[in-house]
Structure 1
Amino acid sequence: MKKTPVWVWVVAGGFLACALTAVLSVILLFSRAGTLRGDGVGLVEVKGMILDSQEVVKQLRDLGKDGRVKAVVLRVDSPGGIVAPSQEIHDEVKKLAGRKKVVVSMGSLAASGGYYISAPASLIFANPGTITGSIGVLMKLTNVQGLMDKIGLKAFTLKTGEFKDSGSPLRPLTEAEKGVLQSVIDSAHSQFVRAVADGRKIPVDEVRKIADGRVLSGEQAKDLKLVDRLGTLQDAIEEAGRLGGIQGEPQVICPPKKKKLLLDLLVEEAAVRVTQTLRQETGLSAIYEPAAGVW
């Protein structure tokens, strides 16, 4: 009996492997399609410093337009961030909550800007030990004039107005400059207070009593009506399902995320570093974040 050449077995094995792969791919595709046909709860995550709002806003809008999504869970694990992006996410959450139930699930930290974006939600869950609150605004300034004098360097500034170089690290602030910058901080703080009062349906005067930058545990925040319930992410998902009219355990629907190329990542990292450097050098970016040492 003539033996079958080895290469025949290799080719046959290759064809068999390809066929099995194709069959498994088709089964997986139909399985996913069947899973995605049903209604579910959307999930958007906000992690880390809030330096930009575009991706989160896009995800919220995508879930708002998706007919399968009956409610949305916003998972917040953030110490806060820059004022404007926090406000943009806040406004998008508020708009979405007008059409679908939005349930916030706070992770280990949802303070300052992290709380700001949570305030307009339909319902807020926190863990008992979640660090939250910190309703306040700060502006960090650095002065290196003494160091410059020691090493013999002099700096000169030409400007078009009295306040154009306010916050310069090369000289102390004047009393007039302190007044101008404080007015900016006070304005941003008032906006924060009004947003919390409106979102949580609490009188403005009551919010002002605790809007002194203090951080709170999730348990304390519940007592002050800043959060509604104590519970986990899974608790929030299940409650969102109930609010959305879904029977049984809801499936979680995640919005498509932007695919980032290597160039995108490099540009994004560079932008973050530039933003942080500018904040450190000028100190003129008002930010929603808790006091140093908390995060």
Structure 2
Amino acid sequence: MRGESPRLGSGPRVGVIDVKGTIGGGADRDETEDILKRIRRFAEDGDLKAVVIRVDSPGGSVGASQEIHDEVKRLAQKKVVVCSMGNLAASGGLYVSVACPKIVANPGTLTGSIGVISQFPNVKDLAEKLGVKVETVKTGKLKDAGNPFRDMTPEDRAYWQGLVENTLGQFVKAVAEGRKLDEAKVRAIADGRVLTGAQAKEAGLVDQLGNFYDAVELAKQEAKLSGEPVLVYPPDERGRFLEQLMGGAAGAVADAVATRVAQGAADARQPGVYFLAR
């Protein structure tokens, strides 16, 4: 199999889009927007008949996972779309995957983790020891629900529990629709548990066990293509621009990327609602 840029290929072309790392939030928000653009680019390529979505992600923010999921569904209305699960395609990674009509996973892929999580640090005691006092002025009793400088009240907890339960319902519905499963069957495993690829196949979350190239072969078959596939990756326009602009300053670019990754990890731990495997 050969790789190429989208404009240089000929013959049976199979597009590849990577969904890797934490999805959305903070610095990762730019990556989410890039993925959406890549999906649309392939959707508009009339000569491209099949696309493999390669997912290797623990999930991430709810909104970003849903945005990618919905765009993949639209792509599947125009092209043959197959998901290839890598080492990890859990929680939000699974949410994205189920938008693909066909899913291929390795037997040892870690997937599942159907659930929603929201965590809030409580630094009240620490603040008191440091002599820090925070005064809050708010317009409603739930406006500061999750405030790290006070204990969570039963009402706060019920409020957040309602949010995560509502979001879980959206997750269950997406999986049930994407995999053509009864919602009750999905809810039976929607307790946050992680499944191997082999277990996921038994549960109906995966169609076939295999690696990335098995997914490429399945996409080729579904699209009725013949011959050796040419793998088409979207051009990294921003990367090329930086390369031309920065010249020999590759080290500085690498440092900037590392900083963004660290910031993304920090953002993922901030209060919010996440499709994220723990």
TM-score when normalising by structure 2:
0.86
Q: Is the 8 A contact 1:116 1:196 kept in 2?
A: yes
Bigger relative CO (Cα 8 Å, ≥ 6 apart): 2
AA aligned opposite 1:44: I
User: 218, 226, 239: which one pairs with 1:247?
Assistant: 226
- Judged with a 3 Å threshold, the aligned counterparts in structure 2 of structure 1 residues 68 and 193 are, in CA distance, closer, same or farther, namely same
User: 2, 8, 12: which one pairs with 1:39?
Assistant: 12
Which residue does 1:111 correspond to in 2?
A: 90
Please state how far the C-alpha of 1:183 moved relative to its aligned partner: 1.0
Please state how far the C-alpha of 1:68 moved relative to its aligned partner: 2.1
Q: Distance in 2 between matches of 1:70 and 1:144?
A: 54
Which residue does 1:197 correspond to in 2?
A: 176
Percent identity over paired residues: 44
Q: Distance in 2 between matches of 1:33 and 1:140?
A: 42
Q: Distance in 2 between matches of 1:279 and 1:232?
A: 29
* Per-residue deviation, residues 145-169 of structure 1 (Å, max 9, x unmatched): 1112223222211112111111111
Query: Structure 1, unaligned stretches of length 5 or more?
Result: 1-30
Please state how far the C-alpha of 1:32 moved relative to its aligned partner: 8.7
1:168 is aligned to 2:147 = yes
User: 196, 201, 219: which one pairs with 1:217?
Assistant: 196
Which residue does 2:249 correspond to in 1?
A: none
* Per-residue deviation, residues 18-66 of structure 1 (Å, max 9, x unmatched): xxxxxxxxxxxxx999961323110001111001321111111111111
Secondary structure of 1:99's partner? coil
Secondary structure of 2:238's partner? coil
Secondary structure of 1:36's partner? coil
1:134 is aligned to 2:113 = yes
Q: Distance in 2 between matches of 1:65 and 1:197?
A: 28
Q: Distance in 1 between matches of 2:35 and 2:43?
A: 12
* Per-residue deviation, residues 259-280 of structure 1 (Å, max 9, x unmatched): 2437998888777666655664
Secondary structure of 1:189's partner? helix
1:77 is aligned to 2:64 = no
Query: Structure 2, unaligned stretches of length 5 or more?
Result: 247-251
Secondary structure of 1:202's partner? coil
AA aligned opposite 2:273: A
Q: Is the 8 A contact 1:44 1:56 kept in 2?
A: yes
1:96 is aligned to 2:71 = no
Q: Who wins on radius of gyration, i.e. which is larger?
A: 1
Secondary structure of 2:181's partner? coil
User: 105, 108, 132: which one pairs with 1:153?
Assistant: 132
Q: Distance in 1 between matches of 2:263 and 2:19?
A: 21
Report the count of equivalent residues: 259
Q: Is the 8 A contact 2:12 2:226 kept in 1?
A: no
1:56 is aligned to 2:35 = yes
Secondary structure of 1:37's partner? coil
Which residue does 1:23 correspond to in 2?
A: none
Aligned-pair RMSD on alpha carbons? 2.5
1:237 is aligned to 2:235 = no
- Judged with a 3 Å threshold, the aligned counterparts in structure 2 of structure 1 residues 157 and 62 are, in CA distance, closer, same or farther, namely same
